[in-house]
Amino acid sequence: MPKKPTSKDMGSNSHGRSAGRKKPKSIEPTIGVRYRALVEQVPAVIYTDSAENKYQTLYINPQLKMITGYDPAE
């Protein structure tokens, strides 16, 4: 009967990372880029308001102009 593979057989060190491999990069910047690309392509008005200040809009996607005729700066 074959024995169960150990972490040594799988190439991991004592910290659980694979031997010889670099620590994975943070995916936060990639997620931000993908999220913005998605939000700017959706045929709907998407916006973000500030939680601290009333009536302070932080972001409005470009579809506002196409759908309503108003520029996001207005």
The ranges assigned to domains in the chain are 28-68
- CA distances 59 to 5, 13, 36, 40, 47, Å, are 51, 45, 11, 11, 5
pLDDT level of residue 68 (50, 70, 90 thresholds): very high
Q: What is the pLDDT of residues 14-39, one digit of tens each?
A: 555 555 566 666 666 777 888 888 88
**Residue-averaged pLDDT of the chain:** 77
pLDDT level of residue 70 (50, 70, 90 thresholds): very high
43 contacts 63 by C-beta, under 8 angstroms? yes
60 contacts 47 by C-beta, under 8 angstroms? yes
Mean pLDDT of the 9-13 span: 52
Whole-model pTM: value is 0.51
